[in-house]
Amino acid sequence: MAKKTLQQRKVRMCDGKIGYAGREAALATIHSMRSYNERNGNVRAAAVRAYLCHCGKWHIGHTRRIDWKYLTKILHPA
């Protein structure tokens, strides 16, 4: 597989994603998405992050890493 160019990576980071004005707004959206999914029984194992894009807005994206802290809270409630 060929290495992606910088322009291809930038398109992947920003294209079709909702842009948030600040980090706090993006984190609040992540929190509301998690609680909504929790209520509906839809648990995503992938870690979700907010990142600052080259366009100047904050976006939400997932990583390949498994979010064990979140899963432990779901699987073993206190």
In this prediction, residue 20 carries a pLDDT of 92
Q: Is residue 59 part of a domain?
A: yes
Beta bridge partners of 59: 51
Q: Is residue 6 part of a domain?
A: no
Beta bridge partners of 60: 50
Structure tokens at 67: 């979010």
- Domain count within the chain: 1
pLDDT at 4 over 90: no
pLDDT band at 1 (very low <50, low <70, confident <90, very high): low
Q: Is residue 1 part of a domain?
A: no
Q: Is residue 12 part of a domain?
A: no
Q: Is residue 4 part of a domain?
A: no
For 69, other C-beta atoms within 10 Å of its C-beta total 8
pLDDT band at 78 (very low <50, low <70, confident <90, very high): low
> What is this structure's pTM?
0.72
Q: Kindly tell me the burial class for residue 26, based on how many C-beta atoms sit within 10 Å of its own C-beta (0-12, 13-18, 19 or more).
A: buried
Q: Is residue 53 part of a domain?
A: yes
Domain limits for position 35: 18-75
Q: Are 37 and 43 in contact (CB under 8 A)?
A: yes
41-73 pLDDT, tens per residue?
787 788 889 999 888 899 998 888 888 887 877
Q: Are 56 and 26 in contact (CB under 8 A)?
A: no
Between 4 and 28, name the one with better pLDDT.
28
